[in-house]
Amino acid sequence: MARRSVIDDVTETIAFQIASGAFQVGEHLPSIRQLAVRYEINPATVQQVLGRLRSAGFVEVHQGLGAVVRDVRLYGGIETWRYLFRFSGRLPGLAAQIVAEVLETKRLYVRLVLTSISENPGRYDLAPFDRAVRSFELLARGGDATPQDLHKATLHLLRTCMSITERGIGLGVLNSVGGMLGEVPEVLGVVYADPEAAAWWWRHLVTTASSGALDQDSIALLLTLLNDWDTEITLRLQDVLQEH
């Protein structure tokens, strides 16, 4: 594991202050000189910290005006949300919200994939998807898979079905968001608490798709099951994070 630097620590401290509301949107951060004194670092190091905060979407830096806090929920990108997600233990409500939105995005992609398959049942080769589901089933039923193992296998499943239906941009988003979820062990422990149920759902999906019986009713049923499961995960996650 890479050793943390003072730049890492100060950047994360200020990012947390912004995320928690200690610094409000539109507010100016203290001057470079003031930040240097506060964190006992030199002004050049403060400049590097501000550069990271700007790159991560937390502040805008204006010549002569200093650093101004941005609305991270409105303008933040993947790197912003990576920072926010790291604060899950200190901001459990925000972490649960992020996970809920990630799971909602997953359901959106699943809907798009299933709709593509149902509209063109003979176009797509589902054999790679079936093999990915088989691998997940073996992992889920083996009894010794870690949440990280299950997460990697789930990402492989999603990548496979999205690749089959030629959704390249969606793959890019999936890779970024999936990596973010994998950074918080507490979250993975909740998301993958019941791997056999997940294996059952994926098998039901690929069996329905392969049989040619995939229509709007079966898609709605699959998505309803997934939505109910995801809602339970989000509620359970809130309880777990609040306990910590």
Q: Going residue by residue through the chain (244 aa), what tens digit of pLDDT does each one get? A: 457 899 999 999 999 999 999 999 999 999 999 999 999 999 999 999 999 999 999 999 988 788 999 998 888 888 888 888 888 778 888 888 888 888 898 899 899 999 999 998 888 999 999 999 999 999 999 989 999 999 999 999 989 988 888 777 777 778 777 878 887 888 889 999 999 999 999 999 999 999 888 999 999 999 999 999 999 999 998 888 777 6
> Do 75 and 103 share a domain, yes or no?
no
119 & 179 share domain: yes
Residue 56 and residue 150 in one domain: no
Boundary (domain end) residue, out of 53, 79, 105: 79
Q: What distance in Å separates the CA atoms of residue 82 and residue 73, rounded to the nearest whole number?
A: 12
Are 183 and 155 contained in the same domain? yes
Is 112 a domain residue?
Answer: yes
Quick one: 162 and 117 in the same domain? yes
Phi-psi region of 143 (alpha: psi -120 to 50; beta: other; left: phi over 0): left
Give the per-residue pLDDT at 238. Answer: 85
Determine contact, residues 28/67, Cβ cutoff 8 Å.
yes
Residue with tokens 């925000």: 94
How much is the pLDDT for 89?
Answer: 76
Over pLDDT 90: what percentage of the chain? 58
**Contact by Cβ (8 Å): 234, 93:** no
Count of the separate structural domains present in the chain: 2
Altogether, the residues listed in the chain come to a count of 244
Which residue segment(s) compose the domain that 59 sits in? 6-79
> What span, in angstroms and rounded, lies between the C-alpha atoms of 218 and 118?
10
pLDDT of residue 111: 92
pLDDT tens for residues 11-61?
A: 999 999 999 999 999 999 999 999 999 999 999 999 999 999 999 999 999
Same domain, 225 and 119: yes
Burial class (CB in 10 A: 0-12, 13-18, 19+), 211: exposed
In a domain, 66, yes or no: yes
241 vs 90: CA distance, rounded Å: 8
Tell me which residue of 140, 141, 158 sits closest to 205, measured CA to CA.
158
The pLDDT of residue 1: 45
Enter the pTM of the model: 0.81
